[in-house]
Structure 1
Amino acid sequence: MSVILGIDIGGSGIKGAPVDTGTGRLAGERRRIPTPEGAAPGDVQGVVKELVEHFGLPGAVGVTFPGIVQRGHTLSAANVHPDWVGLDADALFSEATGHEVHLINDADAAGLAEARFGAGQGVQGTVMVLTFGTGIGSALIHDGVLIPNTELGHLWLRDKHAESWASDRARELGDLNWKQWSKRASTYLQHLELLFSPDLFIIGGGVSKKADKWQEHLTVGRSRVVPATLLNEAGIIGAAMMAARHAEPATGPAAADPAPEGQPAPSKAAAAKTPASKTPARKAPARKKA
């Protein structure tokens, strides 16, 4: 059993738990600490350090982030402090915790977990995981390999910004019933189906808990649509999966499922010494995690 600590940074809480990366199940009780107001890097760093010390696990740690993550650098700030933009967050957390820490976009983490251990288990071809909450997060996976940072909630449907029009928050703000919201979500899914032709859509986020309210009303052309099954544990599980891939060379069947960025994992020492990046930021509309 390979147990890795996964930590999920959310808008209201930062959650962590040990994960058996062989089975996708939590190997201990989950712990949650409120997200510091403003979510500045130093404050979030302190919470992550507290969680790492609480669980006391050796080895690598996986951490999700509600924004674009590329080679350990956070390139957008979705409802977190703007100081995250361009930051070498892998190095920030590695130095604070004394562990090799690897970040991944929050929706990508949920997508990895659902595709391997959740509703997409055993599905070949293209799987698209969408998290409907305050915004819309997306993860695109083909034959188990993640194409990271798709950010498909920011697509435009003619004159409508997708997540501002079809998220769960849009449903609440517009006082829409589930049938009305499903009509909007169907328009969005049909557009994604035209662009990507997924074999399976997995619907996660806050709406996944109420699948009986909307599932019969969603209509697409060729793809199957199912609710997510891992719910609030998906981000933690996906973060641990990603950290495990970076920490250990893939062998056997797992070799076909590389680390999300397709890059060799940096050593712990290199991560701790890497200075803050000056990589130009890629702007994106803010998306708060569900």
Structure 2
Amino acid sequence: MKKTPSQLRVLSIDIGGSHIKATILNKKGDLKMEYDKIPTPAPANPDNVIKAINTLVKDFPAYDKISVGFPGYVKNGVVKTAPNLGTDYWADVDLSKKLEKALGKPAQVVNDADMQGLGVVAGKGLEMVITLGTGFGTALLMDGHLLPHFELAHLPIKEGITYDNYIGEKALEKEGKEKWNKRMKKVFKILKTVFNYDTLYIGGGNSDELTFKLDKNMKIVTNADGIKGGARLWRDDESESKTKRKLATPTE
């Protein structure tokens, strides 16, 4: 018996530099189980990551579709860069096809900050999402729709130093919490000036390390919030398909 859209279940996966996290969502993005995680393997090449995902989800409830947030630049399900996992391993790997083969369900793969953005934004105006983890992730959305993805983490903030180098996990460990927070104040000032966003959402494990008061239009969000974006990926895909079918239908 064919399932109705409201009955569909989505396996939502977040691949990070330190952990791979996953849960099952319904069509609305509600969690149907607590999200679970497993350490990201080393080396984090495609075969090892897919093996880890298989191990993580082997006892999960049944699901119909797969959504993945990946820490790098992804185009049509194909990875182009993976700075915190190893671009040499991942360049031009069609992760969506590999996962479809490994897990037997349709899969969509997008940048991890993009997926988190879909999960947390209110859908009003220009909203920006950043993730503070192993590296620095960013996403931009207008009225709830993803804008083209830019790897802002690789822009230089000063000569020879990128945002990843400046505020990533290694910078926090090396410089300490106080100096890292001073750097974050500088980064927030730049983002506000450059993007003039309506709301800024701050996710990732290191968002807990922020010690200063945020502006009223800046909000801390959790990994559990962000992983809900996996359901939105398929809702948006369905909406686009309906629009295309409608445009293709001859009018009298």
Q: 1:244 to 1:46 in 2, by over 3 A?
A: farther
Q: 1:89 to 1:30 in 2, by over 3 A?
A: same
CA deviation string 1:144-200 (max 9, x = no partner): 0112432222222343422322345423311241xx434322322222223221111
Which of 6, 13, 36 does residue 12 from structure 2 map onto? 6
- Equivalent pairs: percent with the same residue? 33
How many residue pairs are counted as aligned between the two chains?
236
**Within 5 Å, which residues of 2 pair with 1:21-100?**
21-22=27-28, 24-81=29-86, 82-100=88-106
Using the TM superposition, give the Cα deviation of residue 59 of structure 1 relative to its aligned residue in structure 2, in angstroms: 1.7
Aligned partner of 1:242 in structure 2 is 233
Name structure 2 gaps, 5 residues minimum. Answer: 1-5, 245-252
CA-based RMSD = 2.6
Name structure 1 gaps, 5 residues minimum. Answer: 116-120, 259-290
Is residue 132 of structure 1 aligned with residue 132 of structure 2?
yes
The one-letter code of the counterpart of 2:165 is S
SS at match of 2:59: helix
Partner Cα separation in structure 2 for residue 76 and residue 88 of structure 1: 12
Q: 1:245 to 1:36 in 2, by over 3 A?
A: same
The one-letter code of the counterpart of 1:236 is I
Is residue 147 of structure 1 aligned with residue 147 of structure 2?
yes
1:8 and 1:239 in contact (8 A); partners too? no
Q: 1:207 to 1:13 in 2, by over 3 A?
A: closer
CA deviation string 1:194-223 (max 9, x = no partner): 322111111222233355x22x2x57xxx8
Partner Cα separation in structure 2 for residue 249 and residue 5 of structure 1: 19
1:103 and 1:239 in contact (8 A); partners too? no
2:203 and 2:223 in contact (8 A); partners too? no
Is residue 164 of structure 1 aligned with residue 165 of structure 2?
yes
Which of 112, 116, 120 does residue 114 from structure 1 map onto? 120
Is residue 17 of structure 1 aligned with residue 18 of structure 2?
no
Which of 221, 233, 237 does residue 224 from structure 2 map onto? 233
Partner Cα separation in structure 2 for residue 166 and residue 96 of structure 1: 35
Is residue 199 of structure 1 aligned with residue 204 of structure 2?
no
With the length of structure 1 as denominator, give the TM-score of the two structures: 0.72
Partner Cα separation in structure 1 for residue 230 and residue 74 of structure 2: 12
Partner Cα separation in structure 1 for residue 224 and residue 61 of structure 2: 20
Partner Cα separation in structure 1 for residue 235 and residue 186 of structure 2: 37
Using the TM superposition, give the Cα deviation of residue 127 of structure 1 relative to its aligned residue in structure 2, in angstroms: 0.7
